[in-house]
Structure 1
Amino acid sequence: NGGRCVEGVDATRCVCPSGRSGPTCDTTNNRCIMNPCRSGATCTSLPGGYTCGPCPINYSGFYCERSINECLSNPCHNGGTCSDDYNRFTCSCRTGFTGVLCQ
């Protein structure tokens, strides 16, 4: 596992490379090994933890697990109904109104 044996007075021990630990360097310290990040975000292992990111457009949260809803700002006018989609929204307009935002 990439460890180096060092002979001591009473025993031999392993000096483990970065990211590994244990008596025979068989334990990984890489918290990204289980791929905790979502939505295609990159996991970066840190001492004592990890971080995900950057999150793709329209995703947020520690794991990049939350989809951002473009309809939260109520972009459709005149009673139009907003439908959220990946990286965009569409408005379904009431009779008599047209356009991207039902103007």
Structure 2
Amino acid sequence: MIARQYLERAGLHFYAANVTLRGGELDLIMRDGETWVFVEVRYRRTSLYGDAAASVSYTKQRRLLHSAAIWLTERGGSFDTTDCRFDVLAITGSQLQWLPNAFAAAE
């Protein structure tokens, strides 16, 4: 997977991929030091209708937050007790764009 390899080369450590939970899926779960990183991977062949990063809507962000909260709860954690962030890795054509901290749990 291109996204995983890109993030591993950037220093993140892979934990899981395509984790399905009630109401959603987490594309990649990575570690950056002590921080859990939930990565939404988006792909668009062209930018004709907007680039891949723009396709992460407010509704999609809410679903990701909900899924991550469930995942953390299953492991005895929460947003209040666990360092985590939400990144987007957008691929438009052959262009890769990594957006660390693309949105926050408190938004």
* Both structures adopt the same fold (TM-score exceeding 0.5): no
Query: For the pair shown, which has the larger CA radius of gyration, 1 or 2?
Result: 1
Higher relative contact order (CA 8 A, sep 6+): 2
Instruction: Give TM class, smaller chain.
Output: under 0.3
TM-score scaled by length of structure 1: 0.21
